[in-house]
Amino acid sequence: MDENITSVLSEKRTFSPSNDFVKQANLNKAEYERLILKAKTDFEGFWTELAEKNIFWFKKWEKVLEWNEPFSKWFIGGKTNISYNCLDRHLEKKSDKKALIWIGENGEKREITYKELFNEVCRFSNALLKLGVKESDCVVIYMPLIPEAVISMLACTRIGAVHSVVFGGFSKEALADRINDSKAKVVITADGGYRRGQVVPLKLNVDEALQRCSSVEKVIIVQRTKNKIEIKPERDLWYHELTADSSLENKAKELDSEHPLFILYTSGTTGKPKGILHTTAGYLLWTTVTTKWVFDIKDSDVYWCTADIGWVTGHSYVVYGPLSSGATSLIYEGAPNYPDWGRFWEIIQENKINIFYTAPTAIRAFMKAGVEWIKKYDLSSLRLLGSVGEPINPEAWMWYHENIGRKKCPIVDTWWQTETGGILISPLPGITVTKPGSATFPLPGIFAEVVNQDGNPVPPEQGGFLVIKKPWTSMLRTVYGDDERYRQTYWKRIKGAYFAGDGAKKDSDGYFCLLGRVDDVIKVSGHLLSTMEVESSLVSHPFVAEAAVVGYPHDIKGEALCAFVVLKTVEALHAAPLLAEELKNHVAKEIGPIAKPDQIRFTESLPKTRSGKIMRRLLRDIASGKQTTGDTTTLEDISVIEKLRENEL
Ligand code: ATP
Ligand code: MG
């Protein structure tokens, strides 16, 4: 891409945090300014200070950073342990505090204190050691969202094993690919998990996946659903039997700062998933610090991030960030609309949730379901809201603000990636004046910029590439087993900077606005348009619930715009021929004739990854009449593609 992205959307609404929020915030303006300055003038000193204050070390490091672009090592010579930081260090003061609140899809509830979680993790660590799991061995975790999944992750970190969590909704093929890529020795799974009232046959998937995996020696099974499963006696072990006589005494291993922590595969939105490798100390530091700054965690808070542990959000902001901060983290096993669309709000009411972190895809689904589901519940415990995963359209932001936040809660729109390990660009809730649709500013220590092809900053209001110019502690270390792919994907496109793959602009006040994937940018009559802006304009129409915009070849314009549109109600479809025209004109009026879609296609749903992101690359194939190409292993529902093809005009 050799030109700049034309940005057409302009947001004027601003929201300041209330005085009450400001007064109690973990990070205040003076401290924020000091941190920004410190990071600029004494980069290593900045990270030293954070590492001294926020992490327990068995042994202090000798060197803060070794930077050999694109490879970084942080806190060299230091020794720490993540499980120790998440559990042992809280026992003195918080042993009876709830660490986890677990809600099963069928209404069960378990509350687990820090002391209990510590005991369970020690017990399971000993069991893994007894099985012969060694430092740096890889353990795949393929589980429903139950406490044993968190216990498994923490036990791995305790003994220095490397975990790779595979989302429990993935197929046996996706599971086998990940097991083979990570060369896992052990798989931890469950007999089944509940999803929308059905039992997901996890163990059966493991059995079938393992037919084409040779590295796995043992399979550990948690009993969850008690459905009938086959046991291979020489390979399979029940979790409860294995841990029954395990000792509660387990000393956390003193691990090197750069000890490998986990491999996690990206969502597959733009192509074949990449196995992202994170290491111990730097990752722990940044997830801990950002939990404190961005989520403003207090000892009294009940915090709920709705992500599954199969995604990086579940790693960093369900498990490691909150537990390292000594917080109470709620996990819910089931679907947001099971048994009905009130489920999330009921959980918030019952558990008096204070901080709620979810994804735009969920927010748009709740908008479509209607506010009557929300009105039934008391959401007054909420004090802070967060969003992650995709750009949040201003319309969805406003809806979230008004209906869930009751106009009182700051919203943190957090930009980050599997690769970045933790949040890099986000409002700070007690400081930042927010604008709908903007992730606002890079956090202290993060040197983000919007640049052109040559790596030079672009002027305000102009789109470009989002890059990070200096290393940060929780950056990925490599693509597992493929240093060259790491270099090519992230470090070749823009000289001297980490290239995130996303387009962005800074507005005239310096606010960062994410414009979607650079690969999704559309070139119409010589202008590069961001999909996100056209989609946002469509979503601002009262009939539209969700939209995805892609380009297809056009003789005159180069590329033309095709918009796939999901309507809020089926009735709206009766007016479809007229509505299509109306929507085209709506976009032309809102952001200009250049962005007017050539085609509008109504659909019941959009192709999404299992983490809820729109897969525009598949829509691009459909709009240009091509066969579906590329990786579809992380697609949520393949029948969506078939239906879209049937509807082809
Ligand atoms: P793949 O890399 O395999 O294509 P993916 O990029 O969807 O998959 P993730 O690491 O889960 O995998 O997602 C990170 C991406 O999500 C970011 O690069 C960005 O495009 C998008 N994203 C996350 N948070 C935000 C946000 N607050 N605003 C805009 N975009 C966001
Ligand atoms: Mg990505």
Partners of residue 271 on adjacent β-strands? none
What separation in Å is there between the alpha carbon of 142 and the centre of ligand 2?
22
Beta strands in 171-231 (DSSP E): 186-190, 193-195, 198-200, 218-222
User: Residue 642: what pLDDT?
Assistant: 82
Ligand 2 center to 284 CA (angstroms): 21
Task: For 283-312, give one letter per residue: b (16+ CB within 10 A) or e.
Answer: bbbbbbbbbbbbbbbbeebbbbbbbbbbbb
* Average pLDDT, integer, range 481-500: 95
Strands (DSSP E) contained in 21-108 are 63-68, 71-76, 79-80, 98-103
Upstream peptide bond of 70 is cis (omega within 30 degrees of 0): yes
Collapsing DSSP to helix, strand or coil, 629 comes out as coil
Pick the range with the lowest mean pLDDT from 389-398, 534-543, 554-563. Answer: 554-563
Residues with CB under 5 A from ligand 2 (ion): 266
Among all bound ligands, the one having the nearest atom to the CA of 516 is 1
- Dist. CA 413–CA 415, nearest whole Å: 7
What tens digit of pLDDT does each residue of 24-58 get? Answer: 999 999 999 999 999 999 999 999 999 999 999 99
Mean pLDDT of 534-553: 94
Prediction pTM value: 0.95
pLDDT band at 8 (very low <50, low <70, confident <90, very high): low
Spatial separation of the C-alpha atoms in residues 406 and 411, rounded to whole Å: 11
What pLDDT, on a 0 to 100 scale, did the predictor assign at position 94? 98
Structure tokens at 234: 């020489």
The rounded Cα 244 to chain-centroid distance in angstroms is 35
Q: Does residue 494 register a pLDDT over 70?
A: yes
306, amino acid identity? T
CA distances from 147 to 107, 226, 309, 418, 482 (A): 15, 17, 11, 22, 33
Structure tokens at 76: 């060299």
Helix (H) or strand (E) holding 618: helix 616-623
Residue 41 sits at φ, ψ, to 5 deg, of -95, -25
Q: Is any ligand 1 atom within 6 A of the Cβ of residue 275?
A: no
**Distance between CA atoms of residues 616 and 545, nearest Å:** 17
Q: How confident is the model at residue 648 (pLDDT cuts 50, 70, 90)?
A: low
Q: Where are the beta strands (DSSP E) in 294-414?
A: 302-305, 328-332, 355-358, 384-387, 411-413
The pairing of strands 527-529 and 5-6 is parallel
Which residue has its alpha carbon closest to ligand 1 atom 18? 417
pLDDT of residue 344 exceeding 90, the answer is yes
Cβ neighbours for 536, distance < 8 A, ≥ 6 positions apart: 9, 391, 393, 394, 395, 437
∠ CA 516-520-524, nearest 5°, is: 110
Q: Are 541 and 555 in contact (CB under 8 A)?
A: no
Tell me the per-residue pLDDT of 447-460, one tens digit each, with 9 for 90 and over: 999 999 999 999 99
CB atoms under 10 Å from CB of 433, counted, come to 13
Integer CA distances (angstroms), 298 to 412, 488, 648, in order = 16, 41, 52
Residue 577: the pLDDT is 72
Confidence of residue 649 (pLDDT cuts 50, 70, 90): very low
412 lines ligand 1 (CB under 6 A): no
Name the pLDDT band for 558 (thresholds 50, 70, 90): confident
Whether 429 is in the pocket of ligand 1, judged by its Cβ within 6 Å, is no
pLDDT at residue 3, rounded to an integer? 64
Using the predicted structure, report yes or no on whether residue 557 has a pLDDT greater than 90.
no
pLDDT of 519: 87
Distance 268 CA to ligand 2 centre (A): 7
Q: Please compute the mean of the pLDDT values over residues 543-560 and round it to a whole number.
A: 91
- Tell whether ligand 1 has an atom less than 6 A from the beta carbon of residue 359: no
413 burial level (CB within 10 Å; 0-12, 13-18, 19+): buried
SS3 assignment, position 424? coil
Q: Is 576 left (phi over 0), alpha (psi -120 to 50) or beta?
A: alpha
What is the band of 432 on the pLDDT scale with cuts at 50, 70, 90? very high
Q: Quick check: CB of 290 below 6 Å from ligand 1?
A: no
Q: Specify whether the CB–CB gap between 113 and 101 falls below 8 A.
A: no
**272 alpha carbon, closest ligand:** 1
**Residues ≥6 apart with Cβ < 8 Å to 279:** 74, 257, 258, 259, 260, 261, 477
Task: Average the pLDDT over 263-289 and give the result.
Answer: 94
Are residues 294 and 302 in contact, defined by beta-carbon separation less than 8 angstroms?
no
- Is residue 202 scored above 60 in pLDDT? yes
- Give the pLDDT score at 570: 75
* Residue nearest (by alpha carbon) to ligand 1 atom 13: 417
CB 438 less than 6 A from any atom of ligand 1: no
Q: Report the percent of the chain where pLDDT is more than 70.
A: 98
Q: Which amino acid is at 138?
A: C
CA-closest residue to ligand 1 atom 5: 267
- Residue whose CA lies nearest to ligand 1 atom number 15: 417
Ligand 1 nearest-atom number relative to CA 276: 10
Signed CA dihedral, 296, 291, 293, 90: sign only: positive
Alpha carbons 162 and 160: distance in angstroms, whole number: 6
3-state secondary structure of 571: helix
Q: Which residue in 604, 616, 622, 617 sits closest to 545, CA to CA?
A: 604
13 three-state secondary structure? coil
Beta bridge partners of residue 413, listed in sequence order? 387
Residue 581 burial by Cβ neighbours in a 10 Å radius (0-12, 13-18, 19+): exposed
Q: How confident is the model at residue 597 (pLDDT cuts 50, 70, 90)?
A: very high
The answer to whether 138 touches 163, Cβ cutoff 8 Å, is yes
Which ligand neighbours the alpha carbon of 414 most closely? 1
pLDDT, one tens digit per residue, over 50-71 is 999 999 999 999 999 999 999 9
pLDDT given at position 470: 98
Atom in ligand 1 nearest the alpha carbon of residue 500: 18
Q: Where is pLDDT greater, at 380 or 527?
A: 380
Does 489 sit in the ligand 1 pocket, CB within 6 Å?
Answer: no
Q: What is the distance in A from the centroid of ligand 2 to the CA of 586? A: 31
Tokens of 261: 């922590």
User: Looking at per-residue confidence, does 268 or 91 come out higher?
Assistant: 91
Task: Give the span between the Cα atoms of 632 and 622, in whole angstroms.
Answer: 14
Taking all residues of the chain, what is their mean pLDDT, rounded to a whole number? 94
pLDDT score at 647 = 67
Calculate how far, in angstroms, residue 57's C-alpha sits from the geometric centre of ligand 2.
32
445 vs 443: CA distance, rounded Å: 6
Mean pLDDT of the region 626-649: 79
476 close to 421: Cβ distance less than 8 angstroms: yes
Reported as a single tens digit per residue, the pLDDT across 364-407 is 999 999 999 999 999 999 999 999 999 999 999 999 999 999 99
Q: DSSP letters along 336-352, please?
A: TTSSSTTHHHHHHHHHT
- In this predicted structure, what is the pLDDT of residue 2? 47
Q: Half-sphere exposure (CA, 13 Å, Cβ side) for 17?
A: 23
- Our answer on whether the CB atom of 381 is closer than 6 Å to any ligand 1 atom is no
- pLDDT at residue 6 is higher than 80: no
Q: Is the CB of 501 under 6 A from ligand 1?
A: yes
Distances (CA, A) of 178 to 134, 210, 458, 609, 611: 20, 11, 39, 16, 17
d(CA 475, CA 497) in angstroms, rounded, equals 13
Cα(163) to ligand 1 centroid in Å equals 22
Expressed in angstroms and rounded, the spacing between residue 609 Cα and the centre of ligand 2 is 12
Q: 417, 446, 465, 531: which to mutate for ligand 1, most atoms within 8 A of CB? A: 417
For residue 604, what is the DSSP state?
S
Say if strands 255-256 and 79-80 run parallel, antiparallel, or are unpaired. Answer: antiparallel
Question: What's the pLDDT score for residue 183?
Answer: 95
**What's the CA dihedral at 436, 442, 448, 452 to 10 degrees?**
20
413 lines ligand 1 (CB under 6 A): yes
pLDDT of 625 above 90? no
Decide if 507 contacts 311 (C-beta within 8 A). Answer: no
Cα 480 to averaged position of ligand 2 atoms, centre (Å): 15
Q: Is 316 in the pocket of ligand 1 (CB under 6 A)?
A: no
Average pLDDT over residues 518-547: 89
User: Shortest CA distance to 473 belongs to which of 289, 332, 317, 300?
Assistant: 289
Q: Across residues 100-119, what is the average pLDDT?
A: 97
- Determine whether the shortest distance from the Cβ of 634 to ligand 1 is under 6 A: no
Domain annotation for the chain: domains and CATH numbers: 105-253 (3.40.50.980), 541-646 (3.30.300.30)
